[in-house]
């Protein structure tokens, strides 16, 4: 299912399609690995893989030439745009993941405070699947596909979103990564 959607929206940009596939596969694999270590969470692994593979589907609509995106929208909107696209495709649950994976999620207050070009709504991950994909996404960059960020690098990258984002990631590191250095 996710393959068909990526092929549908990325057929005319093979370099970006490859970036998206490598990045999303790394995110999906990390999320699935964590889910399998916690069978008591009873996560929907099929959904987890599909949503992880589609979380960045809206990126082609943004202006980020460094990763082969030649759209007109600001990059910060790729999750919102992907969510709209996935809703049109009849995938509202997957759309929520796309919309809620920026930083550790964006609150209405953060959007207003930072004057982000997004609706003044709450875009924070709520379900464990949403949180787990958001978490795994922070370890993999689309501009450096070969790198796996360390927890310290992830925390540093989230500083631009504010102290609440860093605090959220520290809690997720303990929950999802068995991190002992909060």
Q: What pLDDT digit, counting tens, does each position of 135-160 carry?
A: 999 999 999 998 999 999 999 999 98
pLDDT at 29: 97
Tell me the C-alpha distance between 92 and 88, whole Å.
Answer: 8
Judge whether 182 lies within some domain: no
CA distance 112 to 169: 21
Span 49-74, average pLDDT: 96
Cβ-based neighbours of 81, under 8 Å, separated by 6 or more: 58, 61, 62, 73
Confidence (pLDDT) at 181 = 58
CA–CA separation, 58 and 41 (whole Å): 29
What is the sign, positive or negative, of the torsion defined by CA atoms of 127, 77, 94, 27? negative
**Domain-located, residue 139:** yes
Predicted pLDDT of residue 95 = 98
Q: What is the pLDDT of residues 46-55, one digit of tens each?
A: 999 999 999 9
Split into its structural domains, the chain has a count of: 1
Q: Which two tokens stand for residue 123?
A: 């875009």
Domain span at 79 = 2-177
Q: Is 163 inside any structural domain?
A: yes
DSSP H helices, 89-150, are: 92-99, 108-113, 128-137
129: Cβ contacts below 8 Å, ≥ 6 apart: 43, 44, 47, 48, 51, 97
Give me the CATH number covering residue 55.
1.10.3210
pTM: 0.94
82 domain residue, yes or no: yes
């Amino acid at each position: 299912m996710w393959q068909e959607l990526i092929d549908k929206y990325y057929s005319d940009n093979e370099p970006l399609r490859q970036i998206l596939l490598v990045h999303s596969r790394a995110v999906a694999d990390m999320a699935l690995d964590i889910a399998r270590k916690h069978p008591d969470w009873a996560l929907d692994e099929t959904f987890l893989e599909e949503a992880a593979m589609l979380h960045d589907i809206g990126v082609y609509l943004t202006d980020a030439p460094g990763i082969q995106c030649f759209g007109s929208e600001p990059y910060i909107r790729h999750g919102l745009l992907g969510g709209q696209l996935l809703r049109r495709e009849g995938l509202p649950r997957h759309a929520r993941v796309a919309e809620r994976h920026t930083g550790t999620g964006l609150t209405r207050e953060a959007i207003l405070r930072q004057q982000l070009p997004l609706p003044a709504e709450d875009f924070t991950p709520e379900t464990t699947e949403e949180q787990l994909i958001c978490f795994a996404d922070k370890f993999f960059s689309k501009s450096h596909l070969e790198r796996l960020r360390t927890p310290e690098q992830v925390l540093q990258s989230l500083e631009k979103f504010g102290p609440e984002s860093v605090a959220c990631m520290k809690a997720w590191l303990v929950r999802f990564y068995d991190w002992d250095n909060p």
